[in-house]
Amino acid sequence: MTTLFISDLHLDAERPAITELFGEFIEREARDARALYILGDLFEAWVGDDDPSEAGTFVASKLRVLSDGGVPVYFIRGNRDFLLGNEYARRAGITILPDPAVILLHGTPTMIGHGDLLCTDDLAYQQFRTQTRDPRWQAQFLMQPLAARLAFAAQARVASKARFGELQTTGMSETITDVSPETVASTFSRYGIRRMIHGHTHRPAIHAEANDCTRIVLGDWYTQGSVLRVDANGFELAALTV
């Protein structure tokens, strides 16, 4: 049986065709999978499990049916949905894993994660990540009214787009927003593994790293889908058309 990996769907109301594609993927391919792993940024933004978004309701219903049908679904939080919590996980029938996590994938120890921890050259982002992963910051944020949290998320999206535009203007976007080779090498060594799967960078590829290591980067779902299929015979990184 095949194990499936996806990430960076960034589902929201602005791209209903992608949400529909996700639903079709769950109903057709994923129902026959050994397991489904979602490696972060399932949603464009997530301000708490009381988020009333239609995408959140739709996804929870699809994943619950999949899980109830016998396909385990695992989720790692991304930089857009790091506030997705246990209440939503129960609704969707998914298991939240730490980032990173090491799993035994068809006999091969494999490290999986969202991927943003590997982008250590982006110092500003890493500082923001440290702040927003602090349980005290999260508790204070979740105590705010829903409207205030939604406004914060909207402002954060605008700021993120503006910063990316600045990096493009200065020619630094390709390096700053990608993984650090040194961090990748040290991560392989620290965890004692030879295969790594992650998303976040939106640069789908299969990289042959030093010391016979393999790093697989999942694609985003902005204009099409992206899925990694892994079975006992190997792996395939494929696109899904709308």
All residues at 6 or more sequence positions from 177 whose CB lies less than 8 Å from its CB, including other chains: 119, 122, 164, 167, 201
Q: What is the pLDDT of residue 124?
A: 87
d(CA 207, CA 124): 26
Domain residue ranges in the chain:
3-240
Q: What is the pLDDT of residue 167?
A: 62
d(CA 217, CA 99): 15
Residues of the chain short of pLDDT 70, as ranges, are: 164, 166-176
Strands 73-75 and 195-198 come out as unpaired
Q: Contact 44/10 with Cβ under 8 angstroms?
A: yes
Which CATH number does the domain 3-240 belong to among 3.90.25.10, 3.60.21.10, 3.40.50.80, 3.20.20.80? 3.60.21.10
Q: What is the pLDDT of residue 242?
A: 79
